[in-house]
Chains A and B, each alone.
Chain A
Amino acid sequence: MGEATRDWQEHPLRVKIIGVGGAGGNAVDRLRMSDPGPMELAVVNTDFKTLDASPLTEKVMIGKTVTGGLSTGGEAELGRQAAEADRAELARMVEGVDLVFILAGLGRGTGSGAAPVIAEVAAEAGALVVAFVNLPFSREGQRRMRQAEDALAAMREACACVISLPNDLIVQQAEGDPTLLEALAIADDWIRRGVQAICSMILENGLINVDFATLREALHYRGGKAVFGFGEGSGDGFVEAALRDLERCPLLHLPDNRFLRKTDGLLLHIRGGPDMPLSDVYRVMDFIGERFGCKENTVLGAAVDGSLQGRVQVTVIGTVDVTGARRHPFRVPAAARPRPVAPPAPRPAPVAEAPAEHTAPVAKTVVATPRSAPPQETESTGAARREKHPPEGQAEFEFLVGEDRGYFEKTDENIYEGQDLDVPAFIRKGIRIAV
């Protein structure tokens, strides 16, 4: 490999995966075990005990002044206060990171309360924020559900893309009667697939790579909804099998988005063995573009994985602009980013040309961001953005109230004892249906 490659390895895109709260922390732990590659991992929690037990190196304790190192006891407001209290610490954590994944289980205290604040802080620092959040089982009751829904709305405000994974659906993917551990592993596996799809698109060398700016462009419908699905196929006609599997993915058939035929931005990632022909890749792309009504704005990534001989995995992330227009372009003005004093000094001029193809301009500025950026600068810009944020948030929230409920759209809520009766009974009861 030439010198150019080495240079850009020294200044790679920084991707950080942050687990917030108990569930988020567990998800990150599990990711750690499946070799996350160049991604940095971090956990944030209010509970000292849980944090102490985590094997990760980067741990951020929030809300010492609020909860005194104990957990929030399921109170989302406490979680929010805790995160607000340690905003500066959180800002340090996401400083200079280009792509932040936030993993959290919504419905309880830290996840619901702190995750939206962390997303906001990360977005302020200029990162592209993608969140994977678990929604509680219907069985867990109305209060949890309500906290989760509020948090989800707040997350959609702050993140470029929020992918919600209802726990009710976990059981649909499991074999037989899953144990609790298995069920949680499945949920984490969904997250892993999503994180991996996005990361390998921009980090790995594959058939088709995507640069960071394109990714940012595709995902930037702030306040919008996201759909997430994947399919896997093997054997003869593995491409067709994968597409069929994708079509049956329960995540694409939530009451929320099952009638979704039109997305505004689409991210398609194909992962296959070395024997995957390019023609297949394009065939998949055509099919998916057709299926989601998004031929123009489809971002395609394809990676080769030696272990996937004769198999293919297709992952789709689509964003829908529920607010009608691109009201919140996600591109962060250069001024808002903590800037280094000087342009990247260690980089020799001739070499700097080479990585231009791989990484976006945004990424390049970050590369040289000193870890110890003056904190007061971050603080002040953060405060300035916070000031104008609330009214925006207020306006947008109203759009999110009327969720799309498939066949029962535009009808009154059908809440009985905390459960929406319009959601299939078998999903709420956790009955597995093998198709």
Chain B
Amino acid sequence: MPRNKIIGAVEIGSSKITVLIGEIEGGRELNIIGSAEATSVGVKKGEIVDLSSVGRCTHAALIAAERKAGVQVDEVFLSASGAHLEGFTNIGTVNVHDADNWVSEHDVHTAGHSARRKALPPGRCYLVHIRGAACADGREVDNPVGMQAAKLELKYWNVHADERRITDMIHIISGYADGLSVEEIIPASVASGRISASDDERRAGALVVDIGEGTTDFVLYRKGHIVHTGVIPVGGGHLTNDLSIGLRITFKQAERLKLRDGKAVLEKGDKEGHVMLEGDLQIGDRPIPRLAIAKILNARVAEIFSIIKNRLGSAVSAQAVPGGVILTGGSSELPGIADVGRDVLGVDTRVGTHPAWVTREDLRDPGYSTTLGLLFFGLQGQSLGERKAEAPKAGLLRRLFK
């Protein structure tokens, strides 16, 4: 390798646009050499509503990150979210070719192909095909190659998206610098799940919920494989909006109040307590009952979890996810949010931390889990030999837009 590869991880979020720049040394080691974030204008509920201003914000963040790193980005890994993302399970089945029923690479390839080829309605495109468990004559195995079986089944979780929204994002990146290409687009849930849950937790079975500003992205792991991902277009922005409507205060005041005094559970002593709206003793400042704040936030947070519960059904229970529920994303910092999750989902719930290799203090914020996850996938993409079965395979898009 003539020089180290520089990859950029870009998340176009509803509150901010985050860029991390990583240097891949020798194809095996990742150094984070630059980071920047810009306030996001024109993204709501994870979807771009104002392309030109989002473009400006993204470019500003990229410039700032490149300046800090002192290098230019070669390729970009992008995360995608929003209600337009959808997924489904498809199983590819083949009769093993070999006369003695030895499963070969070719069989796996054929089964995978048939699981991924389902046609989508016009205007939709596949984002990723995520390989799940393989079944050799009913036995669930990780890698069936070399085993003896008559029938091979491969399970895939396929995520597809609105084509227009994806091309919009790609145009923003390609508009930044000539030749800057989007290497891969990964659902935000997949990216943050990879960072927030450890290998052991994913193997045991875990649910990662990334509650951001505009969306809540979740990913369910079973036996180390992704079996479900989803997006709920509700996030911290809704918490703020609810406070602002319920307490009759401005959106800005509500945002400050949420960060300063927000709580997702009712605690003893909240019944009577008050907090001042501004705390600056100015005219217009008024006491806000703690009870009101907690009730409003509790209602919304509980609803987010109950929607997840509805979507996943029996797949989320203490038996099915021994690894528990791991919360991440900016809104996971709301005090008491894990307690609400535990109550609603009936599964042990905690706020996740980043793995130990993330040493930079400023990147330990849960809001960075998606971009860190993107970098991780960037690293994996470089060392293809080590690519794990669960890693997303390059979708149709990669071929389309290259």
Q: Does B39 have its Cβ within 8 Å of any Cβ on chain A?
A: no
Interchain nearest-CB distance for B174 vs A (Å): 25
- CB–CB A408/B241 < 8 A: yes
Task: Say whether A351 faces chain B, with CB atoms less than 8 Å apart.
Answer: no
Contact residue among B291, B302, B307 (Cβ-Cβ distance under 8 Å from A416): B307
A411 in contact with B47 (CB, 8 Å): yes
* Contact, CB under 8 Å: A406 / B45: no
List B contacts of A411 (CB < 8 A): 44-45, 47, 49
Task: Please determine whether A431 and B233 come into contact, CB atoms closer than 8 angstroms.
Answer: no
Report which residue of A254, A258, A408, A433 has the largest number of chain B beta carbons within 10 angstroms of its beta carbon: A433
From B83, B232, B242, B244, give the contact of A412 (CB < 8 A). B83
**Binary interface encoding of chain B residues 241-278 relative to chain A, with 1 for a CB under 8 A from any of its CBs, else 0:** 11011111001000000000000000000000000000
Q: Which residues of the other chain, A, contact B241 by a CB distance below 8 angstroms?
A: 255, 406-408, 422, 424
Say whether A414 contacts B299, CB under 8 Å: no
What is the interface of chain A mostly: helix, strand, loop, or mixed?
loop
Q: Judge whether A429 and B299 touch: CB under 8 Å.
A: yes
Task: Verify if B124 is at the interface (C-beta below 8 Å from A).
Answer: no
A426 is contacted by which of B45, B49, B295 (Cβ under 8 Å)? Answer: B295
* Chain B, range 271-326, C-beta contacts under 8 Å to A: 288-289, 291-292, 295-296, 299-300, 302-303, 307, 310
Does B78 touch A at the CB level, under 8 Å? no
Interface flag for A328 (CB, 8 Å): no
Q: Indicate if the CB atoms of B292 and A253 lie closer than 8 Å.
A: no
Instruction: Report chain B residues within 8 Å CB of A424.
Output: 238, 241-242, 245-246, 296, 299-300
Cβ of A426 and Cβ of B296 under 8 Å apart?
yes
Are the C-beta atoms of B300 and A426 separated by less than 8 Å? yes
Kindly identify, within residues 211 to 260 of chain A, every residue whose CB is under 8 Å from any CB belonging to chain B: 247-248, 250, 253-255, 258
- Inter-chain contact total with CB atoms closer than 8 Å: 86
- Contact partner of A408 (CB less than 8 A), chosen from B44, B247, B302, B303, is B44
* Interface 1/0 per residue, A391-435 and B, CB below 8 Å: 000000000000000111011101011000110111101010111
List residues of chain A with CB within 8 A of the CB of B251.
407
Knowing A408-B45, A414-B45 are in contact, say whether A426-B248 is a contact too (CB < 8 A). Answer: no
Determine whether the beta carbon of A407 is less than 8 Å from that of B237.
yes
Provide the bound-state CA to CA distance between A345 and B377, in Å: 91
**In the complex, what's the smallest C-beta–C-beta distance from A434 to chain B, in angstroms?**
6
* A141-188 at interface with B (beta carbon < 8 Å): none
A433 and B47 within 8 A (CB): no
Judging by beta carbons under 8 Å apart, are B291 and A434 in contact?
yes
| Alpha-carbon distance between A411 and B310 when the two chains are bound, in angstroms | 24
The verdict on B234 contacting chain A, using a C-beta distance below 8 Å, is yes
Q: Which residues of chain A come closer than 8 Å to B303, judged between CB atoms?
A: 421, 425, 429
* Residues of chain B with a CB closer than 8 A to A406's CB: 241, 245
Q: Say how far B44's CB is from chain A's closest CB, in angstroms.
A: 5
Given known A-B contacts A411-B45, A426-B299, A433-B296, A253 and B245 have beta carbons under 8 A apart? yes
Contact in complex: B234, A414 (CB < 8 Å): yes
- Sort chain A's interface into a size bin: 20 to 34
Q: State in angstroms the CA–CA spacing of A407 and B248 once bound together.
A: 14
B167-209 interface with A by 8 A CB criterion: none
CB contacts (< 8 Å) of B299 on chain A: these are 424-426, 429, 431
B386 shortest CB reach to chain A, Å = 39
When chains A and B are docked, how far (Å) is the Cα of A421 from the Cα of B247?
18
Write out the residue numbers on chain A whose beta carbons fall within 8 Å of the beta carbon of B238. 421-422, 424-425
**Chain B residues positioned under 8 Å from A254 (CB to CB):** 245
**Does B292 lie within 8 Å of A414, measured CB to CB?**
no
How far apart are the CA atoms of A247 and B286 in the complex, in Å?
13
Taking a contact as CB atoms under 8 Å apart, the answer to whether B246 and A414 are in contact is no
CA distance A271 to B233 in the complex (A): 45
The answer to whether A425 and B245 touch across the interface, beta carbons within 8 angstroms, is no
Q: Which residues of A contact B292 (CB under 8 A)?
A: 433-435
Q: A435 near B248 (CB under 8 angstroms)?
A: yes
Q: How far is the CA of A435 from the CA of B248 in the complex (A)?
A: 9
Chain A residues whose C-beta falls within 8 Å of the C-beta of B291 in the assembled complex? 434
A433-B45 in contact (CB<8A): no
Chain B residues lying within 8 Å of A407, measured Cβ to Cβ, are 44, 237, 241, 244, 251
Chain B residues whose C-beta falls within 8 Å of the C-beta of A431 in the assembled complex? 295-296, 299
A170 to B: closest C-beta gap in Å = 15
Within the complex, the shortest CB–CB distance from A431 to chain B, in Å, comes to: 5
Tell me how far the C-beta of A406 lies from the nearest C-beta in chain B, rounded to whole angstroms.
7
| A253 → chain B closest CB, angstroms | 5
Question: Chain B residue with minimal CB distance to A248?
Answer: B248
The minimal Cβ–Cβ distance linking A171 to chain B, given in whole angstroms, is 12
- Of the residues A410, A417, A421, A426, contact of B246 by C-beta under 8 Å: A426
Give bound CA distance, A248 to B248, whole Å: 6
- Complexed CA–CA distance, A421 and B235 (Å): 10
Measured between C-beta atoms, what is the minimum distance from A335 to chain B in Å?
47
The CA of A412 and the CA of B47, in the complex, are separated in Å by: 9
Closest to A410 in B: B49
Chain B residues positioned under 8 Å from A427 (CB to CB): 245-246
| Residues on the B chain within 8 Å of A414, using CB | 45, 83, 233-234
Query: Once the chains bind, are A255 and B245 in contact (CB under 8 Å)?
Result: yes
Q: Measured between alpha carbons, how far is A429 from B303 in the docked complex, in Å?
A: 9
Tell me the nearest residue of chain A to B243, going by C-beta.
A424
A431 CA / B47 CA spacing, docked (Å): 30
CB contact under 8 A between A434 and B289, given known A412-B83, A414-B234, A424-B300: yes
Taking a contact as CB atoms closer than 8 A, the residue among B45, B247, B302, B310 that contacts A435 in the complex is B247
Interface string of B5-28 (1 = CB under 8 A from A): 000000000000000000000000
CB of A213 to closest CB in B, whole Å: 35
Kindly list chain B residues whose C-beta atoms are within 8 Å of the C-beta of A426.
242, 246, 295-296, 299-300
**Across the interface, which residues of A come within 8 angstroms of B44, CB to CB?**
407-408, 410-411
Separation of A242 and B300 alpha carbons in the complex (Å): 31
Q: With the chains together, A248 CA to B291 CA distance in Å?
A: 17
A-side contacts of B246, CB under 8 Å: 424, 426-427, 433, 435
Contact residues in A for B83 (Cβ distance below 8 Å): 412, 414
State which of B234, B244, B245 has its C-beta within 8 Å of the C-beta of A421: B234
Interface residues of B in 21-57 (CB under 8 A from A): 44-45, 47, 49
Nearest CB in chain B to that of A252: its residue: B248
Please state if B233 and A253 are interface contacts (CB–CB under 8 Å).
no
Nearest-CB residue, chain A, relative to B237: A407
Q: Point out the residue from B49, B247, B300 that lies within 8 Å of A425, measured CB to CB.
A: B300
Contact residues in A for B245 (Cβ distance below 8 Å): 253-255, 258, 406, 424, 427
Shortest B250–chain A CB gap in Å is 10
List 12 contacting pairs A-B, 8 Å CB cutoff, sorted by A. A258-B245, A411-B44, A411-B49, A412-B45, A412-B47, A412-B83, A414-B83, A421-B232, A422-B238, A425-B302, A426-B295, A433-B295
Please give me the 8 A-B residue pairs with the lowest Cβ-Cβ distance, nearest first. A424-B242, A426-B299, A425-B300, A425-B299, A425-B303, A248-B248, A433-B246, A411-B44
Q: Which chain A residues have a beta carbon within 8 Å of chain B's beta carbons? A: 247-248, 250, 253-255, 258, 406-408, 410-412, 414, 416-417, 421-422, 424-427, 429, 431, 433-435
Show the binding face of B for A, using Cβ within 8 Å. 44-45, 47, 49, 83, 232-234, 237-238, 241-242, 244-248, 251, 288-289, 291-292, 295-296, 299-300, 302-303, 307, 310
Beyond the given pairs A421-B238, A424-B296, 18 more chain A to chain B contacts, judged by CB atoms under 8 angstroms and listed by A's residue number, are: A406-B245, A407-B244, A408-B44, A410-B44, A412-B83, A417-B310, A421-B232, A422-B241, A424-B238, A424-B299, A425-B302, A426-B246, A426-B299, A429-B303, A433-B295, A434-B289, A435-B246, A435-B288
